[in-house]
């Protein structure tokens, strides 16, 4: 088997020594080429090259969710083709590693490498669905390039939090769960659309849902993790179905505290509930329009401001080693 290992040297939970051990372990079982990423988007370029090659059987992403997202976007640059594209494997090296953990992999790089090698020897894999976001035709965002996401996206509040966290990290702050929680509080205090949301959700054959304050799109469950605690925004979301949406039509201080508590105590059977909660399951396609430009995030990566985004749930997009 010929494999390409895409390693992010800035991954927060793996050292150079750990990477060397992992590379040695993988190389003992396959013909391995290792490339260390050197710039933002490099992992995407490497994934694209692997997709276009005829001799790469497997691409291993060693890094956090951002690295995985880039590799996936490279592999799927010409669209889904599960049987024709290299398989994907993930060795978690970031601070949260939602995609890897949602697949059932250990949240430790060494243990995950062992699990990966076992899965390869047993021929264990699954074909998972992915989310696709694109600028909506007929809007000012229609020329925005489409982008795949593996576990979640968001337009509005949560994307604003992601943007704040990225700013803090650029200033040298370490990515921690405490940092995220601080930015959630700051985003809430400065959120201008808490009472009258600017987002409208449209889907074919249905009445639009208007005046939404917050919109989270899930391709799997859990939505994220706080340490070892899984957080379920859309408990029914699955790699085997379309996309799920959790949206709020109002977010006062009292309501924000209530829904935050519901998220922190959520489970695979129960997510946030209430008269201001909109929960939609297994959507193939829908569009979010906003009256004002709002931040957009995908897989924890802030992508700037958007006024209209069309989301598509693509079943059976990519084979993954598990």
Measured CA to CA, the distance from residue 271 to residue 121 in angstroms comes to 37
Structure tokens belonging to residue 239? 């790699």
Task: Give dist(CA 10, CA 321) in Å, integer.
Answer: 24
Task: Answer yes or no: are the C-beta atoms of 24 and 62 closer than 8 Å.
Answer: no
- Dist. CA 79–CA 166, nearest whole Å: 29
- pTM (2 d.p.): 0.93
Cα separation, 133 vs 187, whole angstroms:
24
pLDDT tens figures, 74-98: 999 999 999 999 999 999 999 899 9
Q: pLDDT, tens digit, for every residue of 95-151?
A: 899 999 999 999 999 999 999 999 999 999 999 999 999 999 999 999 999 999 999
Q: Which residues 6+ apart lie within 8 Å of 221 measured at CB?
A: 102, 232, 233, 234, 235, 236, 237, 238, 244, 268
Helix (H) or strand (E) holding 311: strand 301-321
Whether 228 and 322 have beta carbons less than 8 Å apart is answered as no
Q: What is the pLDDT of residue 242?
A: 98
pLDDT at 175: 66
- pLDDT value at position 193? 64
List, run by run, the mean pLDDT of 10-residue segments along the chain (322 residues): 94 86 93 96 98 96 96 98 97 94 96 96 97 97 97 92 78 73 76 77 96 96 92 98 96 88 95 96 98 94 96 98 97
pLDDT of residue 192: 66
The pLDDT assigned to 194 comes to 59
d(CA 96, CA 290): 29
Q: What is the pLDDT of residues 100-111, one digit of tens each?
A: 999 999 999 999
């Amino acid at each position: 088997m010929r494999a390409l290992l895409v390693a992010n040297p800035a991954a927060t939970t793996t050292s150079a020594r750990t990477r060397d051990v992992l590379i040695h372990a993988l190389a003992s079982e396959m013909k391995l080429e290792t490339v260390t990423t050197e710039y933002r988007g490099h992992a995407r370029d490497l994934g694209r090259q692997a997709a276009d090659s005829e001799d790469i059987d497997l691409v291993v992403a060693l890094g956090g969710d951002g690295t995985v997202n880039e590799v996936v976007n490279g592999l799927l640059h010409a669209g889904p083709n599960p049987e024709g594209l290299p398989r994907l494997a993930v060795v978690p090296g970031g601070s949260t590693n939602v995609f890897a953990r949602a697949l059932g992999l250990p949240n430790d790089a060494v243990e995950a490498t062992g699990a990966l090698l076992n899965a390869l020897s047993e021929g264990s894999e699954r074909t998972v669905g992915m989310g696709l976001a694109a600028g909506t035709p007929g809007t000012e965002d229609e020329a925005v390039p489409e982008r795949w996401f593996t576990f979640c996206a968001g337009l509005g509040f949560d994307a604003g939090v992601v943007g704040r966290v990225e700013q803090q990290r650029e200033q040298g702050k370490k990515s921690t769960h405490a940092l995220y929680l601080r930015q959630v509080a700051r985003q809430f205090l400065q959120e201008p659309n808490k009472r009258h949301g600017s987002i409208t959700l449209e889907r074919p054959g249905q009445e639009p849902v208007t005046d939404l304050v917050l919109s989270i799109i899930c391709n799997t469950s859990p939505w994220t993790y706080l340490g070892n605690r899984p957080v379920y925004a859309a408990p029914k979301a699955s790699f085997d179905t379309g996309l799920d949406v959790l949206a709020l039509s109002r977010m006062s201080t009292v309501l924000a505290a209530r829904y935050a508590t519901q998220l922190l105590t959520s489970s695979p059977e129960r997510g946030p509930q209430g008269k201001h909660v909109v929960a939609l399951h297994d959507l193939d396609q829908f569009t979010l329009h906003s009256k004002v430009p709002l931040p957009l995030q995908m897989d924890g990566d802030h992508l700037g401001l958007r006024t209209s985004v069309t989301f598509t749930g693509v079943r059976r997009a990519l084979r993954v080693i598990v």
